[in-house]
Amino acid sequence: MKSTKPQHSNKQSKRGSALESLLHSEHTAEIEKLVVGGQGLARIQYQDKFLVVFIPRTAPQEQVRFRITHVEKNHLQAEVVQVLRPSPSRREAPCDYFTNCGGCSWQHITETEQLKQKELILQDLFKKFIPDVAYELLPSVSSENSFHYRNRIQLKQLGTELGYFRRGSHEIVDINHCLIAEKEISDRIPELKQKLKPAKELRKFELRINHLNQFEHYPIGGDGEGLSFSQVNNKVNEKLVATALQLIVQKNPKSLSELYAGAGNFTFPLLQALPDLHIESAEMNPKLTAFATEKLKNLKLQKRLFAFTTDCESFVQRRQLSSEVVFLDPPRAGCSEQVIQKIIHSDARTILYISCHPVFLARDLHKIFAAKPDYRLTHTQIFDMFPQTDHFETLVMLSK
């Protein structure tokens, strides 16, 4: 693997790194795979070892020439100079803005390969965090629409520009449409740009299709924020809810503790499917619990659901978790140590965990299995909620 001597200063290097001499040098290597964050992983030889290099907008099995842009303690960041041998899965990105826009990371890769790489990411993480736990990765659930699937997006405004941040910066890529937003949302972007007054400081807006199937927008931090309770991909969410429902109905529990309950995406289907089920749920956002409470009254299910407006840490301190089923759908960062320990001590027969970040899922599973080796992973499945990006949802069920 050839390299050239750096021609620039090393002002961007990590201070104290022994690898500073590599900054701005160019190298050629093959992309082995894609990783969390969406970048390609390659390796270069340095002295007597191989160094990991992360390179965005690359595809598996392609040979690229790249330039080192950042030096970290134990890895390097780079940018593509030239694709020397394209990957079989590389394609021309369908979006006009893809080259600069930071909204999508994988439009240059076919959907089949995207899903394959997501499965490999999850398997690699499980191998690292829970190497001794047996599981079967079931066939992934793909999205019916690989474009125009998002029922909400967040755009930034500065001056008259409205769009997403440019990759790796806080500059705005001005857009007139968005290929991953539902068509109704995408078509409204030019109209919204005409309506908005130029912004002297950065503003953020959410554009969405609400629960009444109507388009609306509001500034982030405005009164409407917090009511976007559904998953961003309606079709895949329906399949996710149906799968979770099927798994729990088979257990036929009488009690269930639900953490990070939102506005009841899973709660109400469960209550309607299991007439004898009682649920205690925790959700910190008062607007979401208010929405859930109103729906509860309309469905006349008040006696079977106790919805607490509180953070999950406070909830698990005050309430005993169900010994039958604990159901959780946490934010990207997964569960706090306090919540995980309470779940472990609940000794529930079934834990159903829905995750939107595989690293934190694997971390939390490691803690559970280390404390309770009698659990088994009885269901593991990816739901491709976010095509054209490296993000995905994972559903796992742990059973005694």
- pLDDT of 298: 79
- Report which DSSP code applies to 50: E
**Contact (Cβ atoms closer than 8 angstroms) between residue 218 and residue 206:** yes
- pLDDT of 5: 38
| 135 is annotated as contributing to ligand binding | no
Would you call 335 a catalytic residue per the annotation? no
Q: Check 104, 178, 312, 356 and give the catalytic one.
A: 356
**CATH domain 112-144+232-399 topology:** Rossmann fold (3.40.50)
| 246 is annotated as contributing to ligand binding | no
pTM of the predicted protein model? 0.91
Indicate the burial class of 180 (C-beta count within 10 angstroms; 0-12, 13-18, 19 or more): buried
From first to last of its 400 residues, the chain has per-residue pLDDT tens of 434 433 343 344 445 567 889 999 999 999 999 999 999 999 999 988 999 999 999 999 999 999 999 999 889 999 999 999 999 999 999 999 999 999 999 999 999 999 999 999 999 999 999 999 999 999 999 999 999 999 999 999 999 999 999 988 999 999 999 999 999 999 999 999 999 999 999 999 999 998 788 999 999 875 444 445 568 999 999 999 999 999 999 999 999 999 999 888 999 999 999 999 999 999 998 888 787 778 777 777 778 999 899 999 999 999 999 999 999 999 989 999 999 999 999 999 999 999 999 999 999 999 999 999 999 999 999 999 999 999 999 999 999 9
- pLDDT of 215: 94
| 12 is annotated as contributing to ligand binding | no
What ranges do the domains of the chain cover?
20-85, 112-144+232-399, 152-219
Q: Which residues contact 251 (CB under 8 A, 6 or more apart)?
A: 324, 325, 349, 350
- pLDDT of 16: 53
Phi, psi of 264 (to 5 degrees): 100, 30
| 48 is annotated as contributing to ligand binding | no
Domain 20-85 has CATH 2.40.50.140: yes
User: What distance in Å separates the CA atoms of residue 386 and residue 237, rounded to the nearest whole number?
Assistant: 11
Write down the residue that tokens 């690293």 correspond to: 359
- Report which DSSP code applies to 152: E
Q: Which residues contact 280 (CB under 8 A, 6 or more apart)?
A: 255, 256, 257, 258, 305, 306, 308, 319, 322
